[in-house]
Amino acid sequence: MRPFSHKQADDAPQTWRERLAALRNLPPLLAMVWETSRALTVLTLLLRCVSASLPLATLWVSKLIIDLVVRAIRHQPYDRAIIWKLLVLELLLAVASDVLGRAITLVDSLLGDRFTNHVSLKLMAHATALDLFSFEDPVFYDKMERARRQTTSRVGTLASLATMAQQLLTLASLLSAVIFFDPWLLLLLVAGTIPVFLGETRFAMLNYSMLYRYTPERRELDYLRYLGASNESAKEVKIFGLGKHLAERSRGLFERFYAENRHLAIRRAFHGALLNLAPTGAYYLAYVLILLRALTGQMTVGGLTLVTGAFARSRSIMENVVASLVGISEQALFIKDLFDFFETKPQIVSKPGAIPAPRHIRIGFEFENVSFSYPGSTQAVLSDLSFRFYAGERIALVGENGAGKTTLVKLLARLYDPTAGRILLDGIDLREYSVEDLRREIGVIFQDYMRYDVLASENIGFGRVDALENEERILRSAEKSLAAEVIAGLPKRYGQMLGRRFEGGVDLSMGQWQKIALARAYMRDAQILILDEPTASLDARAEFEVYQRFVDLTTGKMAVLISHRFSTVRMADRILVLENGRIVERGSHEQLVALGGKYAELFDLQAAGYR
């Protein structure tokens, strides 16, 4: 696990130009809202437009009522019936305001739920399309982690945008009344608001920079919490007494993050209190001007009530708008992470006009001077490999850990592309074939196979998801891998939930899980079967049975077997021995033992353990 380290603040956007550039992500975000539900989007906009006009209408009705009451007090002519009508109108406006507020909350809630689901599905779809090496890159993982957090938190951005739009409409209507009585009041409002906006925006940038820098540490903290409270790690945590160590390490990470966050929060609160003196002073200066006009008879009592009410609400709304602008500009930086993730494009894609993979492989594969290095690395994992893998042939890959065996089969399945050389299938470069079509012809089980917390039938059916409802095929695949014996002992058989994540789930032993994973590979019924250490958790008898079944089931098919057990690789037609990314020997088991080279050395070392 990588130790804690501080990154420089320069890693994150900090300039006004970068901050304004982040605002360009708001239109695409709104476009995603429109995609989510046009009807709900239009409805919330209409409701907010109507709601925005109610505050000024209420103040205006209140002004009319007060002026009529003043006329009555002064014994001037007035119409008593109009007062009661205006009072009823103000009551209706109050009821309408409450009803509209609840309707807006309801619509926003529904739209927010649909938006969260919409973005989550887009994230899943995009992640599925990305290249395998993206998921092996820590920088990408940090980007994906920040993007993943946006699926729920960006609902708040939508609410902030909608609320701010509504407030701006309300503000425009209220300011029209303020400007009508005295245009200078508007300048006082703006002058008092600018310092608060600039100060809050600066601290918002600092807050984002801090969160940006700490993304790897937060991910590490999440991982430590998972290790400390997971059924998968519980046994080792208890046996090795890791609980205290994990807790202390988590506490160290949390305290460092908390210390910086606390320091920033205190500074933000202190400066915010000082800067807030500006709008407070501007408000009371404006209040003095309004009172002077009223005292000199330039304004009626109702007008005084209207202007002071409109000004007070305008001040409150402007402060809220400033806070919303600061919040939205801060959130726009996080939205940038979301769209940065969506802008990550896969490199391994089907070319326009890609041809389908051959339904019956005639010749097989040919590696021509193939080399491979991981992106960003100068060290070659595979170097200048050249060999043929014939149709109907079973080959085994042998070598010590890190020799490049798993990487080779990933190239075969086009999970990676060679950095040099090319791979041919039936004489045609793999890059000319449709990626999806090619992979449909390959069944693979890697040594780090997945244990899905789903039904037993689904665990097998995932090998060919378009046949997930094909019960006969699932049963046949389970028979082939010997998983049928495992499932027969489960309370609900193929309808049994596997794993402990969900209620009623049953966990399996490693050997049993491995048979389920093998069934998933057989479910594919592909032309090429790749087994990467498929029997590592099986006992000797079960391993022998699996491989006898493997030999029978791959007759006439192409198969690649990776194993450290020489009792199994000798079943292959041909064995390739890899060392430091190169093929150093090739031949049958008998030929390689007679050769007395690397294979014979490894075979003798393993055989010595059984003597």
What domains lie within the chain, and their CATH numbers? 22-343 (1.20.1560.10), 449-525 (3.40.50.300)
75-79, 171-175, 292-296, 504-508, range with the lowest pLDDT: 292-296
- Distances in Å between the Cα of 502 and the Cα atoms of 496, 505, 510 are 11, 6, 19
Going by DSSP bridges, is the β-strand pair 558-562/528-532 parallel, antiparallel, or unpaired? parallel
pLDDT above 70: percentage of residues in the chain:
74
Q: What pLDDT was estimated at residue 118?
A: 84
Mean pLDDT over the full length of the chain: 79
User: Looking at residue 5, what DSSP letter applies?
Assistant: -
Q: CB burial class (10 A; 0-12, 13-18, 19+) of residue 126?
A: middle
**8 Å CB contact between 355 and 433:** yes
pLDDT in tens, 224-251: 776 776 666 665 665 566 777 777 888 8
Model confidence at 200, in pLDDT bands (50, 70, 90)?
A: low
- Distances in Å between the Cα of 83 and the Cα atoms of 29, 59, 67, 87, 415 are 48, 15, 10, 6, 78
The whole-number average pLDDT for the span 192-218 is 68
Tell which residue, 281, 293, 307, 89, has the closest CA to residue 196.
Answer: 281
- Distances in Å between the Cα of 45 and the Cα atoms of 52, 155, 159, 173 are 10, 16, 12, 17
Would you say residue 355 has pLDDT above 50? yes
* Integer Cα distance of 80 and 71 in angstroms: 11
* Integer Cα distance of 432 and 366 in angstroms: 14
* Integer Cα distance of 559 and 585 in angstroms: 19
Q: What pLDDT was estimated at residue 10?
A: 40
Tell which residue, 208, 583, 232, 537, has the closest CA to residue 386.
Answer: 583
Q: What pLDDT was estimated at residue 198?
A: 65
pLDDT in tens, 7-50: 433 444 445 566 666 677 778 888 888 888 899 989 988 998 88
Would you say residue 326 has pLDDT above 80? no
Would you say residue 610 has pLDDT above 60? no
Q: What pLDDT was estimated at residue 422?
A: 94
Q: What pLDDT was estimated at residue 181?
A: 67
Alpha-helical runs (H) found in 276-300:
277-295
Q: In sequence order, which residues have a C-beta less than 8 Å from that of residue 82 and are 6 or more positions away?
A: 64, 68
- The Cβ of residue 105 has, within 10 Å, a number of other Cβ atoms equal to 13
pLDDT above 90: percentage of residues in the chain:
18
Q: What pLDDT was estimated at residue 5?
A: 38
**8 Å CB contact between 301 and 67:** yes
Q: What is the pTM (predicted TM-score) of this model?
A: 0.64
**8 Å CB contact between 403 and 599:** no
The whole-number average pLDDT for the span 57-72 is 79
What three-state secondary structure class fits 164?
helix
pLDDT in tens, 532-570: 876 655 666 766 776 777 777 777 789 898 887 777 788
525 compared with 516, residue with greater pLDDT: 516
45 compared with 128, residue with greater pLDDT: 45
**8 Å CB contact between 563 and 396:** yes
Q: What pLDDT was estimated at residue 443?
A: 84
Q: What pLDDT was estimated at residue 424?
A: 95
Tell which residue, 171, 170, 165, has the closest CA to residue 30.
Answer: 165
Would you say residue 186 has pLDDT above 80? no
Would you say residue 150 has pLDDT above 70? no
The whole-number average pLDDT for the span 440-450 is 82
Q: In sequence order, which residues have a C-beta less than 8 Å from that of residue 383 and are 6 or more positions away?
A: 371, 580, 581, 582
Q: In sequence order, which residues have a C-beta less than 8 Å from that of residue 164 and are 6 or more positions away?
A: 320, 321, 324, 325, 328
**CA angle, 508 then 514 then 520, to 5°:** 110
Q: What pLDDT was estimated at residue 13?
A: 44
Q: What pLDDT was estimated at residue 197?
A: 66
Model confidence at 412, in pLDDT bands (50, 70, 90)?
A: very high
The whole-number average pLDDT for the span 376-404 is 88
CA end-to-end span of the chain:
39
The first and second tokens of residue 191, run together, are 């002058």
- Distances in Å between the Cα of 180 and the Cα atoms of 53, 56, 176, 377, 378 are 17, 13, 6, 68, 71
Q: What pLDDT was estimated at residue 11?
A: 44
Would you say residue 114 has pLDDT above 70? yes
* Integer Cα distance of 382 and 397 in angstroms: 13
The whole-number average pLDDT for the span 587-603 is 88
pLDDT in tens, 256-265: 777 777 877 7
* Integer Cα distance of 395 and 580 in angstroms: 19
* Integer Cα distance of 19 and 330 in angstroms: 8
CA 150 to centroid of chain Cα atoms = 7
Model confidence at 495, in pLDDT bands (50, 70, 90)?
A: very high
What three-state secondary structure class fits 138?
helix
